Structure 1
Amino acid sequence: MNELRRRHRVLMVSDFFYPNFGGVENHIFYLSQCLMQRGHKVVVATHAYGRRSGVRYMTNGLKVYYIPWLPFYLQTSFPTLFGTFPIIRTIILRERITLVHGHQAFSTLCHEAIMHARTMGYKTVFTDHSLYGFADIGSIHMNKVLEFTLADVQHAICVSHTSKENTHLRSRLPPEKIFVIPNAVDTAMFQPDPSSRSQDEIVIVIISRLVYRKGADLLVEVIPEVCSLFPQVRFIIGGDGPKRVRLEEMREKYHLQDRVEMLGAVAHADVRSVLVRGHIFLNSSLTEAFCIAILEAACCGLLTVSTKVGGVPEVLPSEYIVLAEPVPARMVAAVAQAIELVPNIDPFAMHNKMRTLYSWPDVAQRTERVYHHAMNTENEDLLERLTRYNACGAWAGKLFCLVVIIDYIFWQFLQWWQPAEEIDIAPDFQRHQEQAADGTGEVVNGSLDK
């Protein structure tokens, strides 16, 4: 079959999906929509969110399985190793899935689904959305879990070259199996509006979760100094979190109530209306694999000041961002430099540049190529897979092999207990007059089977 015309049936798996909101959730949704526009079938599997359980349909017939598995910590489901196998197997067989795509290293459901899919002989791809350390207890355990999962995937995707290096060092996955595909933004949602800006002040916008990792403590030091040096500067802070109290205390201590506006949590639908009020966007993250927030700000025409961490330096052209080390004095100097540059910034030129650099159709096309590579890899038997797991460590390797062997035995039991031919096939959502997105201009009618 011609590679350009190959159609995949993809199962996206992650603990993080709507109605929860974040970068991973947006990535999965927009990527799924664009893959569907290119003629692929996409199904999402995640855990239940409150009363949202069972099967739901979203835009353009995107089917979502909200597995009745309750989260127990930071929206991740409780690890069971084998407890999710029956339902993952049922979804794969019902939807005639050909490839499983897991997202986010912190997702328990993602790791388990990839293991089960590999046991069943399906090809898998993993996308890492975050950076992790190497020294603290949590990172050490997470990195070992990631090494276990990536020992048997066909390919991995990272959102920046810094993220690729981080994933390679943490998992020991060969670099040639890791692809770099950046995030994107729906530029139609983030249009500049210079008329919403103040003409007498320089407004600096901050939209972030107010937590330690996002540098909220750094803001406590930077904001009073900037306000002292530049009387024409005003801050708008959107977001919520445990560090919000520190920012409010700072505002009270330095009597900045009229210069620092605290909005609290901002719905994603309202983010643009906040961004267009500003001239400068300030990002103080201490670690970041990509940072979609500065991309949204650039689409709205804001000059960015950001900490020089992780994959941030890869996101924007140098003329649209001022980088500084995550030190208060350096950040203040970067803000001062940005204030001088603001008059020279054309918001619409910046928006048009972002539209050409980052688009979800481009991300989908590049992800599609990764799927092609994964599907072309050779099939392996259990012994070949166990060899790779055994290489993960003197003790850990043997433990990983034991887990995979038990998973294989459980699969054989499920094959006997509920044969595949007894599982009903789910009908595909009918999409009429789909315009093929591979450049051929061909119109495909009806379902994916045609």
Structure 2
Amino acid sequence: MKIAQICPRYFPDIGGVETHVKEISERLVLAGHEVEVITTDSGGKLNKRDMINGVKVTRFRSFAPGNAYYVSPQIYVYLKKQNYDVIHAHSYHALPAFFAAMGKCEGKFVFTPHYHRSGHTAFRNLLHKPYRFFGKLIFSRADTVICVSEFEKRLVEADFKVAGKTVKIPNGINLKEFEHLNRKQNTNGEKILLYVGRLEEYKGVQYIVQSLPELQEFRLRVVGKGPYEEELRNMAERLGVTERIEWLKDLSRKELLECYASADVFLMLSSHEAYGITVAESLAAGTPCVVAQGSALEEFVDGINCVGIESPVMPDKIIKKLNEFKEIADMKRYNSKKLLMDWAKVTNEILRSYEEMREH
């Protein structure tokens, strides 16, 4: 099959959607399919055309106020001139999916919304009501809607009345990477808190920083980059905890796995998540997690290896949960097959969905 994957951003940009599209695209190529990722580059610094691990990547300039929406009507124009067996668009919360829905000529249209209903900021949330018009058009033109969690599936069906089109296929991880990954003990007695992801306000990293003055035995390791980094660094300076925070970015895969394995607790306090790949990877590495409830992250909560914090997230709640973890002598390895699915299986299920859709 000739398959187009449309997403707001792609590798080397990082994020949950970017990881999802990269993992399935490269596996579809290995399965013998022709895959083109059509995406945007708001900064104009990346190549307009690339070939990455067998995946053709085509990038268009976009207007992205506040690192959002990624307005790029060139995607519509480009798709009008192409023919694909399947066009698979990603992310309700940015406009490339809308341009893909409007621009498709032939072939089937699949939509993975990565939907969490509200916006990441007050301004984006305000725009969600008028934006719903565009969203409804995307869902109406989709032949199949793939949701990555039960939480997302319920939201999508309630907000867009598309129960007959939806199927749940969770995000994946590379399970083989974790088979021989050994937990590492810190010999100096310090405990490591870990965050991995984009640095944006809605991700809740600020609450971890605000907790550090009362968590003297912990250091915080932050892996990621984003527009909120400067504010976080300034906050750490004001609180006097700068020396107890490591800021890491652009790590190799091996280095990231080592971060998971050497952490004592992973925290993801985001208020908007349709899945939570970094939580799944932390749990696969045997690292206990603290997550914010109120999004798909709560599906990981088992009360033993992953605990939830009720909204609103506050430093005192984080401190309490971390103290509870310290009282658990022997953490059991997270072993939920329901949520920790390998990317190979995810890709096979998506491919099966493509094939079934084309048969009807």
For Structure 1 versus Structure 2, the TM-score category normalised by the shorter chain is: 0.7 to 0.9
Say whether residues 1:280 and 2:265 are aligned partners: yes
In structure 2, the partner of 1:344 is 330
Q: Map residues 41-440 of structure 1 onto 2, 5 A cutoff.
A: 41-48=34-41, 50-59=44-53, 61-66=54-59, 68-73=60-65, 74=67, 76-80=69-73, 83-92=74-83, 97-117=84-104, 120-133=105-118, 136-170=125-159, 172-190=160-178, 192-195=181-184, 197-198=186-187, 200-225=189-214, 227=215, 231-245=216-230, 247-258=232-243, 260-267=244-251, 269=253, 270-315=255-300, 317-325=302-310, 326-341=313-328, 343-345=329-331, 349-350=333-334, 357-377=340-360
SS in 2 for 1:157: strand
2:40 touches 2:72 (CA, 8 Å); kept in 1? no
In structure 1, the partner of 2:10 is 17
2:198 touches 2:224 (CA, 8 Å); kept in 1? yes
> Could you tell me how far 1:55 is from its partner in structure 2?
3.5
User: In the superposition, relative to structure 1, how do residues 62 and 257 fare at CA in structure 2: closer, same or farther (>3 Å)?
Assistant: closer
> Could you tell me how far 1:31 is from its partner in structure 2?
0.6
Structure number with higher helix proportion: 1
1:307 touches 1:331 (CA, 8 Å); kept in 2? no
Q: Which consecutive residues of structure 2, in runs of 5 or more, have no partner in the other structure?
A: none
State the percentage of identical aligned residues.
Answer: 21
Q: 1:69-106 CA deviation, whole Å, 9 max, x = no partner? A: 344432754353xx5444213332xxxx2111101113
> Could you tell me how far 1:240 is from its partner in structure 2?
3.9
User: In the superposition, relative to structure 1, how do residues 139 and 169 fare at CA in structure 2: closer, same or farther (>3 Å)?
Assistant: farther
User: In the superposition, relative to structure 1, how do residues 251 and 45 fare at CA in structure 2: closer, same or farther (>3 Å)?
Assistant: closer
TM-score, normalised by the number of residues in structure 2: 0.85
CA distance in 2, matches of 1:360, 1:281: 22
Which residue identity lines up with residue 177 of structure 1 in the other structure?
K
CA distance in 1, matches of 2:75, 2:220: 47
CA distance in 2, matches of 1:198, 1:144: 56
Larger radius of gyration: 1
CA distance in 2, matches of 1:323, 1:294: 12
User: In the superposition, relative to structure 1, how do residues 209 and 15 fare at CA in structure 2: closer, same or farther (>3 Å)?
Assistant: closer
User: In the superposition, relative to structure 1, how do residues 198 and 262 fare at CA in structure 2: closer, same or farther (>3 Å)?
Assistant: same
Which residue identity lines up with residue 114 of structure 1 in the other structure?
A
Say whether residues 1:27 and 2:17 are aligned partners: no
Which protein has greater RCO, CA pairs closer than 8 Å, 6+ apart? Answer: 1
SS in 1 for 2:131: helix
Q: 1:128-184 CA deviation, whole Å, 9 max, x = no partner? A: 1141228942211232211011112111111111111222233x2321311111111
CA distance in 1, matches of 2:78, 2:199: 37
Question: CA RMSD of the aligned region, Å?
Answer: 2.9
1:298 touches 1:354 (CA, 8 Å); kept in 2? no
In structure 2, the partner of 1:394 is none
> Could you tell me how far 1:316 is from its partner in structure 2?
5.8
TM-score, normalised by the number of residues in structure 1: 0.70
Which residue identity lines up with residue 150 of structure 1 in the other structure?
F
CA distance in 1, matches of 2:117, 2:297: 15
User: In the superposition, relative to structure 1, how do residues 278 and 333 fare at CA in structure 2: closer, same or farther (>3 Å)?
Assistant: same
1:16 touches 1:75 (CA, 8 Å); kept in 2? no
2:61 touches 2:72 (CA, 8 Å); kept in 1? no
